[in-house]
Copies of this chain bind each other. A is one copy, B any other.
Amino acid sequence: MFEQNLTRLAVRTRGRGFHEITREIADRVTRAGIGTGLCTLHLQHTSASLVIQENADPDVRHDFDRFFSRLVPDGDPLFVHTIEGDDDMAAHIRTALTTVNLSIPVAEGRLTLGTWQGIYVWEHRTAPHVRTLIVHVMGEPV
């Protein structure tokens, strides 16, 4: 017998940077009561993204920030779309270079993340935002 559970999660970011949501998503999977199945996350925005990355050394996320600031600089003279601020077009491109969808299988009632994998909302705008995430879990009950 298949079941599913669909909820919304509002994430308050503090401006550009990584906001970990691994525990919140794990909790939703537990509450959905699915033993084996699939968890899909969809972020409803075009200037913030979802990323699975190392959850150990904070320097990793610091280096991500520095690398992307060089790769996709705010206020690049190439940009025509500047009406929403210097960081807006850079935020759209950072989002497209990463992703807004994740699909993670569920086994024995838990996300099958690797030991060092954490799930993050990566805010690309410099100002804080409220970001809405759709969390869908489907599969066979425990």
Chain A interface residues toward B at CB < 8 A: 2, 4, 6, 36-38, 40, 42-46, 51-54, 57, 59-60, 62-64, 66-67, 70-72, 76, 78-81, 83, 89, 92-93, 95-105, 107, 112-117, 132, 134, 136, 138-140
Contact = CB atoms under 8 A, between A and B. Distances in A.
A53 B96 contact: yes
Given A80-B62, A80-B63, A89-B63, A140 B4 contact: yes
Contacts of A102: 101, 103
Contact of A40 (B93, B95, B105): B105
A105 B6 contact: yes
Contacts of A140: 4
Number of copies: 3
Contact of A80 (B4, B59, B78, B112): B59
B52 A81 contact: no
A96 B45 CA distance: 18
A92 B60 contact: yes
11 contacts: A42-B103, A42-B104, A44-B114, A44-B115, A54-B92, A63-B89, A64-B96, A97-B98, A99-B99, A105-B134, A112-B134
B53 A46 contact: yes
